[in-house]
Structure 1
Amino acid sequence: MLNISERGLLSNIRLLLVEDEELARDELSRFLKRRVGKLYIAQNGLEGLEKIKEYDPDMIVTDLKMPNMDGLEMIRTARKNGYDGAVIIVSALSDSETILKAVDVGIVKYMVKPVDTEKLILTMGDLASNILKTKMNHTVIDDKLLIDKDAKREIEQKIRGEIAHFIKSCTGKGPRNVQVFIQGNIISVKAEGVLTLLESTLVSNNKNNSLVNYNRRLLYLENKRLIEKSIENIVETKVNLLEIEVDSCKNFDFVKFSFL
């Protein structure tokens, strides 16, 4: 079994909750504390700004109307100060003017009170996946996080073996080297030294490059589902073949996959 975190993506996220109503703050904080990695709490916009400056949270859930400084002004000020984290606003108001103002300061979700906690968690999960893939450059597979380099290296090694086996079983010649790199939800594979003796002979006269390229590309296209399934067995989630590049002159095949 792969060394993948079972606690979910949110357990890797630092969240700031800003809410002035004590009852709502207590209920929501109890709910969120069990699901996120670290929870910071503020009672108004001014206190929220202090928490943002001190902790730089990955995500913020904030009320709109609060004393001293409201949620929009807090985020507007935080943006000016360079904060680029994801922000969800929860409010009893649902007027279009307020929503448009929220969009202008980079609010990614506007939710009307009372908060539907199921929808809130789904939204936070989507945001967490994006944060971990892009901002933190972690690897996310099927809503689980590869939290250490060894686990990622193990997956890359297994994919390397599958690709080498596929090429050898289909052409009779294995590649000299296979490089596999996982970044975000993309798997990039470069197989070097792949040409058979016949293909090398055809390429050597510089007239049959396009024919060799076409045939090798066809090899991947005709076996698309076979390759995808072999990698799915490793990463345990859906895999799609995105790109095929064959360069017979430089003797390599390059393929790119995505996983959900």
Structure 2
Amino acid sequence: MEMTFLIVDDDISIRKMLGLLIKKNNLGKVICEIESGKDAVQEILFYNPDIVLIDLLLPIVDGIEIMKASKKQGYKGKFIMISQVEDESVVSKAYENGVIFFISKPINSIEVINVIKGICHNIELEHSLALIKSAVLNLNSDKNVTRELFIDDGITNIFADIGIAGAVGSNELIKIIHKIMDFKKKSPNSTYKLQKIYYEMVQEEHVDGNLNANKRALEQRVRRTIQKALETISELGCDDYSSSVFMEYSTLLFDFKQVRQEMRHINNALEEPGKINTKKFIESIITKLGS
């Protein structure tokens, strides 16, 4: 299937550069370019592209507000944000509101191509998974059980690919993913807080001792598990940059800048290790599962 793209950026040179990268690398077709946030939501809903490449700082309406409004009105496609803003709280807010990947300006063409390829592959997988899930659910009267088994199989396969299947914290991470998926199903237009999810899990487990201390310990286990996945993917990239597993997961689950940083750390222990974003990691897995 040919992917369709819509680009929202007030810088014409950025729009042309992105369009050229998409065309030259046979990634799909740019069906619309927009230079401000004024009519962006209406255009996104009208063209319904597979992927929207959007800047954060736009005239009239910013990128995050455009994403929120588009999703609220039914848009189901993917958002890639390309911006010079690097403030962690702003980046985190972007992920909370629907960004699949955040790319920093100035644009690195290799990073953009890898990110788009990974997300296009992800979209194709989602379509395949949706067909399989539909077939499986039709064969089984207990839809909830079948759905959970299907999701668990999908998560297990991803965890095996990124080297954290069976790791300490992996089972808790799976429970967190299920909780967030259930939350999204019940409240599609609301946002969740990871800290609240951690607290609920500790309460449900009836762990003795201080709830806040246990919540922090749970959070640390989850972060260590995701950090291990970053290390595994980065090691794979050091060995074989063209590996399909590296190409897919380095751009899907992590900020590619941090993957590169972790690769530098692997090659030189004096370099700072790469950092992980727990929410992006979880959101990306949920997206890959096609929910």
Name the TM tier (shorter chain): 0.3 to 0.5
* Larger strand fraction of residues: 1
TM-score for the superposition, normalised by structure 2? 0.42
**Who wins on radius of gyration, i.e. which is larger?**
1
* Larger helix fraction of residues: 2
